[in-house]
Amino acid sequence: IIKTESEIKKMKVSGKIAAEVLEMIENYIKPNISTEEINNICHNFIIKKKAVSACLGYHGFPKSICISVNDVVCHGIPNKNQILKSGDIVNIDVTIIKKNYHADTSKMFLVGQTNILSQRLCKIAQESLYKSLNILKPGIPLYKIGEVIQNYVENNNFSVVKEYCGHGIGRAFHEEPYVLHYKNKSHVILEKGMIFTIEPMINAGSHEVKCMKDGWTVKTKDHSLSAQYEHTVLITENGCDILTWQKNEKIPSKFINK
């Protein structure tokens, strides 16, 4: 769905708030904090920004953000008995609504001392998102996103989760176009004014996942680590505008359009 100029203005405001939640929480991500506490800190910040969480109550989700630790792929439920420890890798996924317009973003946080595999998995996951962001402009086919991500991830001996995808976003949390993170044959062509997320989930082992009995928590089938990064992007005249960009976020120069 193509957004009008006034809708784009509102989406930029929402995107900034969602990015600020992830910037704000950074200093709290240390050993011995519970994921429930992280949820509450983020919830209160969102309220202070006169916004609301889009996750709370969405299909019955019980908390305000998703926190997915280690082999949890996505939709981890904040829990007072889940205490972060040194070596954990943690995805915090934030979706807020401000004046009816959504913005959705997530990133990885490394707790204390993490091992080389954890660091490499997070790096490749983030770079796969950046490589896809770098090709975005009106006229390119949507399937190029999945092609770029899957090629980069598999060339680095990791795998791409297939069960979950990126999505159009605006007045609704999820709308067309749906954005696959692996090779596909979508006929959709990117147009100026399109707004959607790209949110690749990358596993250290097999791409296979399974949902836990709580009906939410998704884990890797082989218990390997998983990492995810997500941005909400706007397709512009000559490229894209990352609406959930963080102030100190930088695309390593090797990914800047030559």
Q: Which residues contact 40 (CB under 8 A, 6 or more apart)?
A: none
Residue with Cβ nearer Mn ion (125 or 258): 125
Write each residue from 11 to 30 as x if it is in contact with ligand W29 (CB under 6 A), else as -, in one continuous string.
--------------------
How far apart are CB 218 and ligand W29 at their closest, in Å? 10
Backbone angles phi, psi at 210, to 5 degrees: -145, 145
Query: Is residue 71 near Mn ion by the rule CB under 5 A?
Result: no
Task: Residue 61: name its binding partner from ligand W29, Mn ion, none (Cβ under 5 to 8 Å by kind).
Answer: ligand W29
Q: Residue 113 corresponds to which tokens in the numbers above?
A: 């001392």
Residue from 94, 96, 116 nearest 105 by CA: 94
Site for ligand W29 in 129-148 (CB under 6 A): none
Residue from 96, 64, 104, 75 nearest 164 by CA: 75
Q: Residue 209 corresponds to which tokens in the numbers above?
A: 């996942």
Rounded distance between C-alpha atoms, residue 247 and residue 21, angstroms = 12
How far apart are CB 148 and Mn ion at their closest, in Å? 18
Query: Is residue 93 near Mn ion by the rule CB under 5 A?
Result: yes
Q: Is the dihedral of CA 137, 142, 147, 153 positive or negative?
A: positive
Site for ligand W29 in 225-244 (CB under 6 A): 230
Instruction: Please select the residue that binds ligand W29; options are 71, 88, 104, 127, rule is CB under 6 A.
Output: 104
Residues near ligand W29, by CB under 6 A = 55, 58-59, 61, 66, 75, 93, 104, 167, 199, 230
